[in-house]
Protein backbone atom coordinates (compact mmCIF):
# COMPACT_ATOMS: atom_id res chain seq x y z
CA UNK A 1 0.00 0.00 0.00
CA UNK A 2 1.34 3.43 -0.85
CA UNK A 3 0.67 6.87 0.55
CA UNK A 4 -2.27 8.27 -1.42
CA UNK A 5 -3.87 11.67 -0.74
CA UNK A 6 -6.74 9.90 1.08
CA UNK A 7 -4.34 7.96 3.30
CA UNK A 8 -2.38 11.18 3.96
CA UNK A 9 -5.58 12.94 5.08
CA UNK A 10 -6.51 9.96 7.25
CA UNK A 11 -3.03 9.80 8.78
CA UNK A 12 -2.83 13.56 9.40
CA UNK A 13 -6.24 13.62 11.08
CA UNK A 14 -5.39 10.59 13.24
CA UNK A 15 -2.02 11.98 14.32
CA UNK A 16 -3.52 15.40 15.05
CA UNK A 17 -6.29 13.73 17.10
CA UNK A 18 -3.66 11.88 19.13
CA UNK A 19 -1.93 15.21 19.82
CA UNK A 20 -5.03 17.29 20.59
CA UNK A 21 -6.86 14.69 22.68
CA UNK A 22 -4.81 15.19 25.86
CA UNK A 23 -5.38 18.95 25.67
CA UNK A 24 -9.16 18.47 25.63
CA UNK A 25 -8.95 15.95 28.46
CA UNK A 26 -6.60 18.09 30.55
CA UNK A 27 -8.64 21.28 30.14
CA UNK A 28 -11.91 19.51 30.94
CA UNK A 29 -14.58 21.66 32.40
CA UNK A 30 -14.67 19.65 35.61
CA UNK A 31 -17.26 19.85 38.33
CA UNK A 32 -17.87 21.65 41.61
CA UNK A 33 -15.16 19.75 43.50
CA UNK A 34 -12.45 21.15 41.21
CA UNK A 35 -11.07 24.58 41.75
CA UNK A 36 -12.66 27.13 39.38
CA UNK A 37 -9.16 28.34 38.47
CA UNK A 38 -8.21 24.85 37.23
CA UNK A 39 -11.12 24.78 34.80
CA UNK A 40 -10.51 25.97 31.27
CA UNK A 41 -13.92 25.75 29.58
CA UNK A 42 -12.97 27.64 26.40
CA UNK A 43 -9.85 25.58 25.84
CA UNK A 44 -11.73 22.36 26.64
CA UNK A 45 -14.52 23.19 24.21
CA UNK A 46 -12.18 24.36 21.41
CA UNK A 47 -9.84 21.37 21.74
CA UNK A 48 -12.83 19.05 22.14
CA UNK A 49 -14.54 20.23 18.97
CA UNK A 50 -11.25 20.07 17.08
CA UNK A 51 -10.66 16.52 18.37
CA UNK A 52 -14.19 15.42 17.43
CA UNK A 53 -13.78 16.90 13.94
CA UNK A 54 -10.46 15.10 13.50
CA UNK A 55 -11.98 11.82 14.71
CA UNK A 56 -14.85 12.22 12.24
CA UNK A 57 -12.38 12.86 9.40
CA UNK A 58 -10.34 9.84 10.48
CA UNK A 59 -13.37 7.52 10.69
CA UNK A 60 -15.05 8.72 7.50
CA UNK A 61 -11.85 8.63 5.44
CA UNK A 62 -11.19 5.07 6.68
CA UNK A 63 -14.35 3.91 4.91
CA UNK A 64 -12.62 4.45 1.56
CA UNK A 65 -9.25 2.91 2.46
CA UNK A 66 -8.72 -0.78 1.83
CA UNK A 67 -5.71 -3.01 1.53
CA UNK A 68 -6.15 -6.06 -0.72
CA UNK A 69 -3.19 -7.71 1.03
CA UNK A 70 -5.20 -7.93 4.28
CA UNK A 71 -8.07 -10.42 4.66
CA UNK A 72 -11.27 -8.52 3.93
CA UNK A 73 -14.90 -8.77 2.96
CA UNK A 74 -15.90 -6.40 0.13
CA UNK A 75 -12.83 -4.27 0.89
CA UNK A 76 -13.52 -4.01 4.62
CA UNK A 77 -11.09 -5.59 7.07
CA UNK A 78 -11.29 -6.06 10.83
CA UNK A 79 -9.85 -2.57 11.46
CA UNK A 80 -12.93 -1.11 9.76
CA UNK A 81 -14.98 -2.23 12.78
CA UNK A 82 -13.56 0.84 14.50
CA UNK A 83 -15.57 3.12 12.20
CA UNK A 84 -18.99 2.41 13.76
CA UNK A 85 -17.37 2.30 17.21
CA UNK A 86 -15.95 5.81 16.75
CA UNK A 87 -19.12 7.24 15.23
CA UNK A 88 -21.32 5.58 17.84
CA UNK A 89 -19.10 6.70 20.71
CA UNK A 90 -19.10 10.30 19.51
CA UNK A 91 -22.89 10.22 19.21
CA UNK A 92 -23.20 8.72 22.70
CA UNK A 93 -20.78 11.25 24.21
CA UNK A 94 -22.74 14.22 22.86
CA UNK A 95 -26.04 12.64 23.85
CA UNK A 96 -24.74 12.22 27.40
CA UNK A 97 -23.57 15.82 27.41
CA UNK A 98 -26.96 17.08 26.24
CA UNK A 99 -28.63 15.08 29.01
CA UNK A 100 -26.29 16.51 31.63
CA UNK A 101 -24.42 13.25 32.21
CA UNK A 102 -20.95 14.79 32.51
CA UNK A 103 -19.43 11.69 34.09
CA UNK A 104 -20.71 9.49 31.24
CA UNK A 105 -19.48 12.02 28.67
CA UNK A 106 -16.05 12.10 30.27
CA UNK A 107 -15.83 8.31 30.47
CA UNK A 108 -16.95 7.84 26.86
CA UNK A 109 -14.49 10.40 25.52
CA UNK A 110 -11.59 9.05 27.57
CA UNK A 111 -12.36 5.49 26.51
CA UNK A 112 -12.62 6.58 22.87
CA UNK A 113 -9.29 8.39 23.08
CA UNK A 114 -7.54 5.38 24.60
CA UNK A 115 -9.12 2.79 22.28
CA UNK A 116 -9.59 4.83 19.10
CA UNK A 117 -6.34 6.77 19.21
CA UNK A 118 -3.75 5.06 21.37
CA UNK A 119 -4.56 1.36 20.93
CA UNK A 120 -5.58 1.63 17.27
CA UNK A 121 -2.57 3.88 16.69
CA UNK A 122 -0.27 1.27 18.20
CA UNK A 123 -1.65 -1.35 15.80
CA UNK A 124 -0.78 0.87 12.84
CA UNK A 125 2.86 0.54 13.84
CA UNK A 126 2.85 -3.19 13.04
CA UNK A 127 5.67 -3.99 10.58
CA UNK A 128 3.30 -4.97 7.75
CA UNK A 129 1.32 -1.73 7.86
CA UNK A 130 2.19 1.44 5.90
CA UNK A 131 3.10 3.51 8.98
CA UNK A 132 4.92 0.55 10.53
CA UNK A 133 7.03 0.13 7.38
CA UNK A 134 7.82 3.83 7.41
CA UNK A 135 8.81 3.96 11.09
CA UNK A 136 10.54 0.60 11.54
CA UNK A 137 11.86 0.14 8.01
CA UNK A 138 12.74 3.52 6.56
CA UNK A 139 13.43 5.53 9.73
CA UNK A 140 15.08 2.90 11.94
CA UNK A 141 16.17 0.36 9.30
CA UNK A 142 14.87 -2.57 11.37
CA UNK A 143 12.51 -4.23 8.87
3-state secondary structure of 76: strand
99/92 Cα distance (integer angstroms): 10
- pLDDT tens sequence across 8-49: 999 999 999 999 999 999 887 655 455 555 667 899 999 999
3-state secondary structure of 66: coil
- pLDDT tens sequence across 37-88: 566 789 999 999 999 999 999 999 999 988 777 788 888 888 899 999 999 9
| Confidence at residue 72, expressed as pLDDT on a 0 to 100 scale | 82
Cα 112 to chain centroid, rounded: 7
Q: Given CA atoms 13, 14, 19, 20 in this order, what sign does their dihedral have?
A: positive
Amino acid sequence: MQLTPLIAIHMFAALAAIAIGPIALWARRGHASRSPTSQRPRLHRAAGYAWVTLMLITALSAIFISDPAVPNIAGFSAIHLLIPVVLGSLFLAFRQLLRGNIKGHRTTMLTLYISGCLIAGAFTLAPGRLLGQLVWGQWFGLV
